[in-house]
Structure 1
């Protein structure tokens, strides 16, 4: 490998791993909101759909 290729490899590795480290630090400092509110109508539809039998196809 040429010197330029090695430098570009190191720069790209630094960008990828640096972004990963930065995102982990960001999420540790500002965690996502827990207990997201769900639309009660959607939750009711899900429970009704779960209680019904699975549809089958007659072909």
Structure 2
């Protein structure tokens, strides 16, 4: 695997993980509002 593709994989993983974290935060806020 070349350096460029490795960097691209790392960036896409970080973006995916960041989006997952934002979704989790929104879900937590909604749960708190329901309770």
| TM-score (ref. length: structure 2) | 0.72
Q: Structure 1: 5+ residue runs without aligned partners?
A: 33-59
Q: Distance in 1 between matches of 2:3 and 2:26?
A: 34
Of structures 1 and 2, the larger Rg is shown by 1
Structure 2 stretches lacking a partner, 5+ long: none
Hey, which bits of structure 1, 4+ residues long, moved more than 3 A? none
SS in structure 2 opposite 1:23?
helix
Aligned residues: 31
TM-score, reference length from structure 1? 0.47
Q: CA RMSD in A?
A: 1.3
Match of 1:16 in 2: 16
